[in-house]
Amino acid sequence: MKTMIKNIKKQGGFTLLELMIVAGLSVMVMMTVTSMFLTFIITSNKSNIKQKLHNEGEEALSNIEFILRNSQKLVPGIDGSTICNNDPNSPMSNIAVQGLDGYVTTLQTYPLGAGEIASYSTAINDYYYLTSDETILSNLLFYCLNGQEDSYYVSASFDLKIGSSDENDRETSIEHFQTGITLRNN
């Protein structure tokens, strides 16, 4: 019997204190890993939103540049606004050009106020949107200056935002876009 008791004592196990220490360390490691994973997911989501906004803004700028570069001449907009105000301190809210096909295209915010960048063409009597419903457009402005030999320099700028809060929110991104073009066909 004494040999059996000695064998049982020699086999031994972990004490309650040792098990609690291991469990506590395991919980701390799991909390650290979970925190790092959540930080990665949040950062990745913010990066995706910024990239999406950047791509949409660059695509809109590209379309605006294409329309302006392939225009035949500047014309009054659908609201009857001036062709080119030649005032760097007074931006225009829209600009209209006549294309080589003879149709007039107006670049503006539509619906007026807080809408999207829209291209209204007399060829189809409808709007073509350069930005999506996901973005919020603000400050769409056009500056037009007369240059040498009846040329025009047109600058377009706007702000796009995804999300409903301020820029520090992890699901909100705001970016400013700007381009300038010398019209060659006027």
Q: What average pLDDT does the segment 85-99 reach? A: 87
pLDDT at 157 over 90: yes
| pTM score | 0.75
Q: If phi over 0 gives left and psi between -120 and 50 gives alpha, with beta otherwise, what is residue 123?
A: alpha
DSSP reduced 3-state for 154: strand
Largest CA distance in the chain: 116
Confidence at residue 4, expressed as pLDDT on a 0 to 100 scale: 56
Least confident among 4-8, 16-20, 68-72, 172-176: 4-8
Average pLDDT of the residues in 46-54: 90
**Looking at residues 90-98, what average pLDDT do you find?**
89
Cis amide prior to 91 (ω within 30 degrees): no
Domain residues of the chain, as ranges? 36-183
Q: Please tell me which of 9-18, 65-74, 110-119, 161-170 the model is most confident about, judged by mean pLDDT.
A: 65-74
Question: Which band of pLDDT confidence, cut at 50, 70 and 90, is reported for residue 90?
Answer: confident
At 10, phi and psi to the nearest 5? Answer: -70, -30
Percent of the chain surpassing pLDDT 70: 89
On average, the pLDDT of the chain sits at: 85
pLDDT exceeds 90 at position 125: no
Among 130, 179, 173, 174, residue whose Cα is nearest residue 156: 179
From the list 175, 182, 180, 185, the residue with the least C-alpha distance to 46 is: 175
What does the alpha-carbon distance between residue 121 and residue 181 come to, in Å, rounded to a whole number?
A: 20
DSSP conformation class of 148:
G
Do 97 and 81 form a contact (C-beta atoms < 8 A)?
no
**Who's near 2: CB < 8 A, 6+ residues apart?**
none
The pLDDT assigned to 5 comes to 56
